[in-house]
Amino acid sequence: MIAIYPGSFDPITLGHLDVMERGCQLFERMIVAVLRNPGKTPFFTVAQRLDQIRLATQHLSNIEVDSFDGLTVNYAKLRQAKVIIRGLRVVSDFEKELQMAHTNKTLAPEIETVFLATSTERGFLSSSVVKEIARFGGSVDHLVPKHVALDIYTKCYGKTQPDSAPTATNPITQMSPSVEQQA
């Protein structure tokens, strides 16, 4: 059985990787599908995210990494997948994901959604949290695969290590000021 794990993965976190590893144990084949969303300005390009995921999952023999645009159920049909995997961290994720699962069921009744709860130690983790920590000069080494941390530091600071505190010349802070900085 083929399962699709769709998302932006911008960037891939250790929480995403946890869901991927567990999904690979449950399904014969798993496709990690990076959504190309023209309505958003991503931190990393689709090509960069695909490369990051491929490197992070090279130890998994039954995984494929791809990208798509449009509806996830249409992509799942195209790839002959019978399952969409969604990771859940907190209760608020469940409400949104359940609504999406019901919507997908109306569009493609033959495709099931399977929810995988993230491991307890990764329950707080999201790509947004990782980017916010990096924006303010914090270390993300414990939140993402090592090669992704290096990519983040290079993008944020032009070097492979964060400073201990953000500076006025930090390009990421300047690009996306916090609410406090705007006041």
pLDDT digits 0-9 by tens, 100-112: 999 999 999 999 9
Which residues belong to the active site?
Answer: 16, 40, 89, 127
State residue 181's pLDDT score.
42
What are the φ and ψ backbone dihedral angles of 16, each rounded to 5 degrees?
-60, -45
Give all domains of the chain, ordered by start, each with its CATH number: 2-122 (3.40.50.620), 127-176 (no CATH)
State residue 93's pLDDT score.
79
State residue 33's pLDDT score.
98
Token pair of 136, please? 């303010």
| One-letter identity of residue 114 | V
State residue 162's pLDDT score.
64
- E-state strands within the chain: 2-7, 29-35, 63-68, 83-88, 112-117
Q: Which residues, 6+ apart, have CB-to-CB distance to 22 below 8 Å?
A: 116
Ranges of residues in the chain whose predicted pLDDT is under 50: 165-183
Please give the DSSP secondary-structure letter assigned to residue 83: E
State residue 47's pLDDT score.
96
Write down the pTM of the prediction.
0.83
What strands, in cross-sheet order, belong to the sheet with 2-7? Answer: 63-68, 29-35, 2-7, 83-88, 112-117
End-to-end CA distance of the chain: 52
State residue 171's pLDDT score.
46
Candidates 159, 162, 158, 160; CA nearest to 133 is 162
